[in-house]
Structure 1
């Protein structure tokens, strides 16, 4: 069984730039309406991405700000009010080795890069895979979710919140680029 859902990109640039919001929203079949918002909140140098919807549990990802999205650095994830521990091996050489590992609702999940670019990812657990992709530009930007297997609302909420997170570090090349960007930003502090 395979189903594909598409969420449209939206932006709210009203007010001061620190209050701007971005995200994706749309309808995902039997799961109903889903909305991803980033940054939903800002706490100093930390940003929060939130997912809400008709049947999906409220899910949030809090991490060190990298652009508009939270990054994997010092990250915290929660779904349905329950905190989820995230683990990853930042020194691994393969995409599978660099995958995020988490446990939610008594199930083991992995979130990994499926391509060299930062737009293609997959959330997997026993018997279920949700492939996520972002494509298009400007007003035509979209996020797609291809569900393989009997996924439930928690699976979809986790996949949706991770679309609103900077996950470049899940590839070796993305980790190198992120390191150089952080280093250059750090050097600017001393000028």
Structure 2
């Protein structure tokens, strides 16, 4: 099975007002060329949008309820090449595999799941292809590494990249509990 590894560096643009700050990852992924992840690329009230663009990858975006600077899976909407993609997940499942985000893109079934209890390791899987993502480093040295197993195409890489700019803590039980308590505290603050 063929395997390729690509590492993207984290970047940030803190110019202007705090509401206009942008963050993300950028790098070169072999034959796919340059790829850039931007979050929040746009804000719509309490919803943030993460976008992926590049030399050969389709324009891909993920919009969801804001959680920090990233959109969360809550009320999430994925778009690949201008087509809206239906997302499914079982938020009550006990295992990481059961909690996986499921989607169908261009007639292919995908699963996006946590591969460890921490939020650093994820995998996008479809028949014959797996793209493992690992976030590592801290501060200005943050990076994301993509390990591509199998004959991946530009769509596979675009979806894996956009998910790096999405808060996916809810894919683990522990992350879901933390997210619930954080949302509860935010709602309490709003109510005061």
TM-score range, shorter chain: over 0.9
Distance across 1 between alignment mates of 2:156 and 2:52: 12
* Structure 1 match to 2:20: 19
Q: For residues 185 and 77 of structure 1, what CA distance do their matches in structure 2 show?
A: 25
Q: Secondary structure at the match of 1:182?
A: helix
DSSP-derived class of the 1:14 partner:
coil
Matches within 5 A, 1:4-153: 4-153=5-154
Q: CA deviation at 1:189?
A: 1.3
Deviations 1:40-69 (A, max 9, x none): 000000000000000000000000000000
RMSD (CA atoms): 0.4
Q: Does the residue aligned with 1:83 lie in a helix, a strand or coil?
A: strand
Are 1:187 and 2:188 matched, yes or no?
Answer: yes
In 1, distance between residues paired with 2:149 and 2:83?
26
Structure 1 alignment gaps of length 5 or more: none
CA distance, structure 2, for counterparts of residue 17 and residue 190 of structure 1: 24
Distance 1:166 1:158 in 2: 14
Deviation at 1:190, TM superposition (A): 2.1
Q: Spell out, residue by residue over 1:19-43, the C-alpha distance to the aligned partner (whole angstroms, 9 max, x if none).
A: 0000000100000000000000000
TM-score with structure 1 length normalisation? 0.99
Q: TM-score scaled to structure 2, two decimals?
A: 0.99
Distance 1:29 1:89 in 2: 35
Give the number of aligned pairs: 191
2:75 partner SS: coil
Deviation at 1:105, TM superposition (A): 1.1
Structure 2 portions without partners, runs of 5+: none
User: Structure 1: how far apart are the matches of 2:65 and 2:189?
Assistant: 18
Deviation of the 1:106 alpha carbon: 0.8
Deviation string, structure 1 residues 97-130 (Cα, Å, up to 9, x no partner): 0000000011000000000100100000000000
